[in-house]
Amino acid sequence: MKKCVIIMNPESGKKHKIKTYQEFYDILRKYGYDGEIILTKGPGDAEKIIQGIDKSVDLVISGGGDGTLNEIVSGNLKREKPLVVAPLPLGSTNDVGNMYGLDHSVYENLEIVLKGKPKKVDICFINDAPFVYVACLGDYIDMAYATPRELKKKYGKIAYILYGMKQLRSKIHQYDVQYEIDGEKHVGRYSFFFISNSSRIAGQPDIYYDVKLNDNMFEVALANVGSKKEMLKLLVLASTMDVKDIPGVTYYRTNNFKIEFLDKPKTSWCIDGEEYKETTNKFVFRVSQNMKMQIPKESADKLFNE
């Protein structure tokens, strides 16, 4: 039989209360897998677990939110030969899982994943830290990692709104930056920075209409808004049109982006929903295709170039 390990974050989300894991084992056997479930015990645990998994394992499934998947990918890329990874969304937002079409019950999603096919996928980096789908910076973005875990477990996605309402203020921080894109240098003043490889961010689908996850490229969107009113207008436009077509958004598709903040940002970068702590004001973004993700067949044609 093939071998599958599910690295499960028991603290993820509020929707999927799992009382027994027997059904997981039954489904794995149904698809020809000898399965093992390993529960994480705290932040950073998933990264360590995957580094210690035997190289004979055919598939590692990330049972958790986007942050758990980020940990697993980070640890996987430290292996001499990375294993095939797949998401099993259990978190509050599950941007990656939903982008792949995994928006059913946890058991249906598991079956869809096991019927999927491995595909080489672009993994982006901010300096030396990998991220699966987004790195972003700006006011209120810290809600993704600063919202208390107890609140997220109790209220799910609504928790971010409840926490964010406490942070609302009329003025938005703006930053003077120097950046280089494909060797071309620019200067500008912006308040929001999104570097992504995804069609879905923060629960909003179709951020971009034509994203491909294996084209060795990522999307860069820089926006300058100075007030809460302008920010809300930007969010409304983002829900109705492709981000790159929104007036006032500076957009690039690239595989080489460098940016330097002339003043230290007021908040940290958020990568895949978690805080990225860094003391430097200089950030280099690149992309690598050094691992495979098991993708549902229904999503492969839409999200991947053959």
Residue 237 sits in a domain of what CATH number?
A: 2.60.200.40
Q: Are 51 and 67 in contact (CB under 8 A)?
A: no
- Only one residue has tokens 């990225």, namely 276
Same domain, 185 and 243: yes
- pLDDT value of residue 12: 79
Q: Which domain holds residue 226?
A: 129-288
Same domain, 92 and 52: yes
How many angstroms separate the CA atoms of 118 and 292, rounded?
6
Same domain, 148 and 265: yes
What length is written for the chain? 306
Same domain, 118 and 160: no
Q: To 10 degrees, the CA torsion angle through 58, 64, 67, 73?
A: 0
Residue 207: pLDDT band by 50, 70, 90 thresholds? confident
Give pLDDT tens digits for 131-163: 999 999 998 776 666 555 665 555 555 554 555
Same domain, 106 and 183: no
CA 300 and chain centroid, separation: 18
Q: Could you give the 3-state DSSP secondary structure of residue 125?
A: strand
Q: What CATH number is associated with residue 84? A: 3.40.50.10330
Same domain, 269 and 241: yes
Number of domains in the chain: 2
Please determine, for residue 189, whether its predicted confidence score (pLDDT) is greater than 80: yes
- pLDDT value of residue 236: 83
The token pair that represents 57 in the structure block: 């394992």
Query: Judging by beta carbons within 10 Å of its beta carbon (0-12, 13-18, 19+), is residue 169 exposed, middle or buried?
Result: exposed
- pLDDT value of residue 167: 58
Percent of the chain with pLDDT over 70: 88
How far CA 138 is from CA of 99, 172, 223, 246, in Å, comes to: 23, 9, 10, 18
Q: Could you give the 3-state DSSP secondary structure of residue 139?
A: coil
- pLDDT value of residue 227: 82
- Only one residue has tokens 């895949």, namely 272
Residues whose CB is less than 8 angstroms from the CB of residue 240 and which lie 6 or more positions away in sequence, other chains included: none
Give pLDDT tens digits for 20-45: 789 999 999 999 999 999 999 999 99
Mean pLDDT, range 247-260, rounded to an integer:
95
